[in-house]
Amino acid sequence: MNATQRPVDLRGQIGPITLSSYLFNASGPRCTTEQELIKLGRSRSAAVMTKSCTLAPRAGNAEPRYRALPLGAIQSMGLPNLGYQAYLEMLPRLKQVGKPVVISISGLSLADNTTMVSAFMASSADLLEINFSCPNIEGKPQLGYDLTQTRQALDTLCTLGDKPIGLKLPPYFDMAHFDAMADLLQQYPIAFVTCVNSVGNTLVIDPETETAMIRPKGGFGGLCGDYIKPIGLANVRAFRQRLPQRIDVIGVGGIKTGTDAFEYLLAGASAVQIATCYEEEGTSCFDRIERELGQLLQRKGYASIAQAKGQLKTLD
């Protein structure tokens, strides 16, 4: 930046909350324990997002359940977490870092979600992200692929308090599905959607050993990282085009450079979350990607995130 250039305003937005920057961690790697969450709070991550919690603590699926791949990872973690009460108990200490705290909730039933959402509605959490898209629990299909159950869940969960809530959605692959889900979601007072969770139930094989890469579910697991960036971008764009402005769209999937974050911004994301890159690089990824994004916006003459948001051009 030369002396006459003004710094780019990199603030992101989730519902009523303005973030100090455009990026924060996704619910996924390195956000399970209090130590990991405090470390996130002290990093350049704009918020502190917890691992999706369940009613009871969970050890998660059998190992190996995460494998790094040339362009990302396959994982079937199975929601290892400390149980929601542990996150409730540590919340006052997480809040001391001075950033918004986002609690990710992934109940195994509507009753579980009701209990946990009610409890966090009465807490000092800033936002709740309810996970309708974990592909890794045997016998529990992803809620976000079932419109009827999504409606039933929202009918209850949206009545439990005033704190802003959002939904973590699975990736959709058909225009009819974008239309149907967006039609449904806009009937509810949700503040944001997060697009996308990993692409569920993929299979990666090691041809040398003729074996699936991960143990759970016979090798089926969620694909993450670069592989899924075009899917994440498409979902952000599709939901931004269909949802009212009162619902922010948060992007996640394959963001490891400022350019990746910029592409999500063009698609209409109000903020982005980092998962696989954070797993591989640690908290330094937040400063690096933020710096790269700032430099890119500056070079392109954008003064702020808001100016570039949704500015994707198409060829028609």
Catalytic residue among 134, 195, 224, 277: 134
The answer to whether 142 contacts ligand SIN (rule: CB under 6 A) is no
The answer to whether 275 contacts ligand SIN (rule: CB under 6 A) is no
Which of these segments, 128-136, 159-167, 244-252, 294-302, binds ligand SIN (CB under 6 A)? 128-136
Phi-psi region of 112 (alpha: psi -120 to 50; beta: other; left: phi over 0): alpha
Among 40, 48, 125, 134, binds ligand SIN (CB under 6 A): 134
The pattern of x and - marking residues 83 through 122 that bind ligand SIN according to CB under 6 A reads ----------------------------------------
For helices 258-267 and 229-242, give the axis angle rounded to 10 degrees.
30
The answer to whether 228 contacts ligand SIN (rule: CB under 6 A) is no
The pattern of x and - marking residues 10 through 49 that bind ligand SIN according to CB under 6 A reads ----------------------------------------
- Among positions 195-224, residues that touch ligand SIN (CB under 6 A) are 197-198, 222
Under rule CB under 6 A, how many of the chain's residues touch ligand SIN? 13
Among 43, 45, 136, 235, binds ligand SIN (CB under 6 A): 136
Does residue 285 carry a catalytic annotation?
no
Among 78, 100, 225, 268, binds ligand SIN (CB under 6 A): 78
Binding site for ligand SIN (CB under 6 A): 52, 76-79, 131, 133-136, 197-198, 222
Residues annotated catalytic, as ranges: 134
